[in-house]
Chains A and B, each alone.
Chain A
Amino acid sequence: MKHIFNAKNFNLIAAAISLIVFVPLIMLVFSFMKSFEERQEKVGFIILGDIHVAGWNESHYKGIKAACENFGVKLLVRDKVKENSGQCPIAIKDLVQNGAGMIFLASYSYSIEVQNLVGDYPSTAFATNSAEVHARNMTAYFVRMYQARYLAGALAGMKTKSNVIGYVAAMSNTEVNRGINAFTLGVLRTNPNAKVVVMWTGSWQDEETEAAHAQRLIEEAGADVLTYHQDENATAQVAEKFGVDFIAYNEILSGYSEHYLTSVVCRWDLYYTDIIQRYLKGELNSVKNHWLGIDRGAVMLSDYSPSVTKEMISRVNSLKQELVNNKQIFSGEIYDNAGQLRCAKGEAISDDTLLENIGWLVRGVEVLE
């Protein structure tokens, strides 16, 4: 007779039964628990340049990275994606496949390029910094950079001796025009006799043209203060070379003389934090536009050059306080440089218009061809 239940076999059988019973139970519990774990949110980020090159690209990258870390969201980056080259749609497809629930189109023309594609991904939230294209699942977002431009203009108006301020700008679109207009209104606020001379480069990144334009503005137009609206800082280098004051844009420069008056900068981290939070809270679609301003600390002027006097600083600060207290720059009587009334007394230009439809330049702006 075989002895199935001797002591040794018994222990084996007991162990086997325990295994058979407990392993599925524990697996069941863990599978339940896993199903309750929230899936990690992923955010995609597409940008034109190299995210490690200072300027627009790096500042955006650092901002969104900080925001994602703040919320524990995974960041998927696709950089060096050229506009209008067909690379952007590929990047979007790739990001969606990798589980990105939200995709940031961090260059102005992307949204225009992919506007027909956005509808194909109804469950993906798109965010663009260009308000010119709309879709149900796309939110325009931007900082009220123009508020800082206004303050920069006020400083330039106080600094200029020649009453000519040069402005190297990429192209005439709502964003750039809004910046030029706010800057000019700022200049006129402190120096009604000054004028702003604008030169178009036709590109966000074109250092040669930028440098050439900056030189012309100094030499031809006689500008003694320069500023620019480009992704990189060729204008600042030319101004430094010519010993002309300048106001940088979107990055804090180092190694420059006191001609470097200040930078128009924004806190991209604050900005990305805010919009990612709204995405996570499901509030993106309740707002057409999402625009952070100086009252939230989203835009500012960086530290001033020693050549900026205390009086100038206090003037700028008082103007800033007005803005924080909800003073609207584009309100009251405003004419464009063709003499057309754009805003009547007692009225204000709405955010929608500011974001979408500024095709004109204010009185006081001249364009140098």
Chain B
Amino acid sequence: MSDFSLNEKYVKKIVMQFATVLVILIWVGLFMSSEVNHLLNATLEKMIARQTSDMSIVAEERFAQELAELRLAAEYLERHPGTAAEENFLSILKAGNENISVGLLRLNDTAIHGKVLSKWDFLRLPMAYRGNGVVDYCAGKGLLFAVPVMRGGNVHSVIYRLYDEKVLTELFGLGEYNSEGRLLIQERNGQVIVPYKDYNEAEKSFFINDSIRYGFKVIRDNLKTRRSSAIYCESSAGNFFLFATDLPQTNCSMVGYIPWAAVAGDIFKIYNLLLIGGTLILIVMAFASAYLFVVRTKAEESDALREAKEAAVAANNAKSSFLANMSHEIRTPINAIVGMNEMILRESDNPDIINYAQNAAAASDSLLSLINDILDFSKIESGKFEIVEEDYKLGDVIKSLVNMMRPRAEKKNLSFSLKVNPATKNLLCGDSVRIRQIALNFLSNAVKYTKVGEVEFIIDNEPLAADWINLRFTVKDTGIGIRDEDIPRLFNDFERFDAKKNKNIEGTGLGLAITNKLVQMMNGKIEIASVYGEGSTFSVTIPQKVVGDELIGEFKESPSSTHEKYKPAFVAPDVEILVVDDNEMNLLVAVNLLRATQVKVDTASSGMTCLKKLAERHYDLIFLDQMMPSLDGIETLKMALAMDNNLSKGSPMIALTANAISGTKEKLIAEGFTDYLSKPIDVRLMEQMFMKYLPKEKLRTPTQEKPSPEEKPAVESKLINVDLGLEYSAGMTDMYKELLLTFSNLKADKLQKLQETFEAGDWKNYTVYVHSLKSTALSIGGEKTSAAAKELEMAGKILTAATSTELEKHESLEYIKQNHAAAMKLYELLAEEAKTLSDSL
């Protein structure tokens, strides 16, 4: 699935797509706009052309009217031949106007009356001699109208009327056509015949303008096949519609122009409406496409999120099921280890064996606590974690904490001090197990992360209400401390700081996270103050209900020892119990654990065997494993309860389960079990079950036994940390002694090899040898030498690594050269000391 954060590529993609759509929309818009413009002007051109045709008809009719007048005269003269009539009529036609000439012409180009007109001036005049009416114009002479005078069907003469140019505008001007437009009549060759009134030089220059002339040229071409033509023309003088029409039967054209605005003004309002509408559509589409992009992006994002969430949920389910499996799978073998170990501790008198078993017990405890951490966390995660409140004594909790922590602290040579406010109430109600867990976590951390100095445990309280107090535990250490910026991350799951520095500190990294959740569930709060490198103070306050007036008083630590040999809490030779488990190992563990209590233990390895035995004899207590093949714990229980011949009816039935995840207990009790005990079996918890469910008279106090004393080698050494060395030798002095001896014996050979590879510059092998020195030195407790070897190993690794830069290599080489001799010296001194130590042990 691709990443849908707003990375550059994705933004680019969106912008590109959006821009593409926008460009297309703009292009379409411009295209539409220009088309509309074009169509509009074409429409107007057509309209004006039609108007022009109409005007040409008007002009034609004026000319026809002139000709009709002359025809009337011609007809009169046809009917009344004679000079007197002719002269009379001609003077009427002249109307006394000096700008009008009239005349009567013979066919041989002589005049009967008036002046002679040259047929070279008026090219159309001969048409009159052929019997047609004529309108003709001659520049400088004027506008001529002529019609034939017939006699007996043949043309006899021609009568004419000639208007001087001066009066043409007045008589034939079409100024009234349109106040905005200009109209003139010209010869087809371009000579103006009838100008409009204010036709002047400026107007002439208008017609000379290149664009206008080009427009008229187009019109002229159009007129070859059309009655009239109009053209939209954009010129430097402005935008105009130009139009023209040829007047039929004459050599004249009517030509004019009208400003674009005068014609298109109103129509353009419609056009603008269209334009605005189109623009709006464009905008809407732009927004729509933007919206679609957003929707699409969101859809893709939510797809990605949904899939990621599904994957996360699936992973989480897998984790939960894995944890549940692990709880079962790990607890079962640990059960065996813990049980067997307990038996070894009890039965062995050999101090070495007891020592081994104690180490094994410590390791098992550690393993169990890790498993418990993880299980707690899984419970909290699934919301199934519950706070179980019951009355408890604060003193007991503190005592157990101190008993547990003091040896650990002392083992690390830390001083452990306890300060208890004597005014603290002792009898409280709350989840003592969890409170203990919280305090234990802080204390464990304090011991874990403190190398030198002390750990201080302070118990205090402050009254809250009538019977409520705020219980406060404060743990101070002089450990490595926490950086300010790390404090907020402190409670994150699996989080550990200074991973390199703390890599040899065990733990899941879940401890504080669980603690924090526990505190929150109990409405408490945690305060942390820390100075990096100097130490930390963890303080937790938890509200607790007070159930009695007893005060804790001056707190007395009872002396304790972690290596205390197991003593049974009671002996009960009269008690008979049945333990049912399909695992023979577990049965063996149970039997042996309880041997010291003298309880008679009978075992059954299946549900069926269990039922058989229940029918044979009476047992005071029955431990029944929950998970067994064929007939499991719950089924066995139900059948046992329903059995008529069950001799142990009424005896408590305790479930044994390795399935420690939340809800198990409730489920088992609901099924009918009296109580439950989690595996691996803790002998003390098992004893508690006896004390809880068996009558007191059956339990007797056991006889005291003397604990076996513990010895510890007390040898002073400068370079060797004997404790550490012993620890690596599992506390076995013999083994340690042997290691020390071997170390010193091997020295000569190894030192030589180190020296040789150093001198030869064989850094690869040199690194191997210093690595070996690092671990062997540490195994005997030679911390300082080991550290020196470690530094050399680091430098050697850098020097031989392919990925290192030249500068790094150079620096590493320099480091090795400078520190090799000192490290070798330390090696020699360590070997000497090891020899001395091994002799003294």
* Nearest chain A residue, comparing its CB with the CB of B288: A17
A348 contacts B248, CB within 8 Å? no
A28 → chain B closest CB, angstroms? 9
Whole-angstrom CA separation of A281 from B21 in the bound complex: 49
B126 interface contact, C-beta 8 A: yes
Chain B residues near A27 (CB-CB < 8 A): none
- A14 and B152 in contact (CB under 8 A), knowing A281-B223, A282-B227, A287-B249? no
Which residues of A3-50 are within 8 A (CB) of B? 3-7, 10, 13-14, 17-18, 21-22, 25, 29, 32-33, 36
How many chain-A residues does the 8 Å CB contact rule pick out? Answer: 38
B226 contacts A6, CB within 8 Å? no
Chain B residues near A349 (CB-CB < 8 A): 153-155
Chain B residues near A281 (CB-CB < 8 A): 223-227, 246, 248
Which residues of A284-330 are within 8 A (CB) of B? 286-287, 326, 328
- A326 and B119 in contact (CB under 8 A), knowing A348-B155, A349-B154? yes
- A22 and B300 in contact (CB under 8 A), knowing A281-B223, A350-B155, A351-B131? no
B566 → chain A closest CB, angstroms? 62
Which residues of B525-556 are within 8 A (CB) of A? none
Which residues of B230-287 are within 8 A (CB) of A? 246, 248-249, 285
B484 interface contact, C-beta 8 A: no
A350 contacts B285, CB within 8 Å? no
B6 → chain A closest CB, angstroms? 17
* Nearest chain B residue, comparing its CB with the CB of A71: B225
Which residues of B610-637 are within 8 A (CB) of A? none
Whole-angstrom CA separation of A5 from B132 in the bound complex: 83
B225 contacts A277, CB within 8 Å? yes
B150 interface contact, C-beta 8 A: yes
* Nearest chain A residue, comparing its CB with the CB of B35: A29
- A344 and B299 in contact (CB under 8 A), knowing A36-B39, A71-B225, A280-B225? no
* Nearest chain B residue, comparing its CB with the CB of A29: B35
Whole-angstrom CA separation of A13 from B289 in the bound complex: 11
Contact with A along B279-308 (1 / 0, CB 8 A): 000000100110010011001100100000
B200 interface contact, C-beta 8 A: no
Chain B residues near A331 (CB-CB < 8 A): 107, 129
B227 → chain A closest CB, angstroms? 4
Which residues of B141-174 are within 8 A (CB) of A? 148, 150-156
Q: Which of B32, B43, B129, B299 interacts with A6 by CB under 8 Å?
A: B299
- A32 and B131 in contact (CB under 8 A), knowing A3-B299, A286-B249? no
B35 contacts A32, CB within 8 Å? yes
Which residues of B821-840 are within 8 A (CB) of A? none
Whole-angstrom CA separation of A281 from B56 in the bound complex: 12
Which residues of A214-264 are within 8 A (CB) of B? none
* Nearest chain A residue, comparing its CB with the CB of B130: A351
B32 contacts A353, CB within 8 Å? no
A14 contacts B132, CB within 8 Å? no
Whole-angstrom CA separation of A29 from B31 in the bound complex: 10
Chain A residues near B311 (CB-CB < 8 A): none
A350 contacts B152, CB within 8 Å? no
B300 contacts A7, CB within 8 Å? yes
Whole-angstrom CA separation of A350 from B153 in the bound complex: 7
A17 → chain B closest CB, angstroms? 8
B28 interface contact, C-beta 8 A: yes
B213 interface contact, C-beta 8 A: no
Whole-angstrom CA separation of A27 from B519 in the bound complex: 75
B603 interface contact, C-beta 8 A: no
Binding site for A on B (CB under 8 A): 21, 24, 28, 31-32, 35, 39, 42-43, 53, 60, 106-108, 119, 126, 129-132, 148, 150-156, 223-227, 246, 248-249, 285, 288-289, 292, 295-296, 299-300, 303
What are 9 contact pairs spanning A and B, CB under 8 A?
Answer: A5-B296, A7-B296, A21-B285, A29-B35, A343-B154, A347-B155, A349-B153, A350-B131, A350-B148
Q: Which 7 A-B pairs have the closest CB atoms?
A: A350-B131, A326-B126, A282-B227, A5-B299, A280-B225, A286-B248, A283-B248
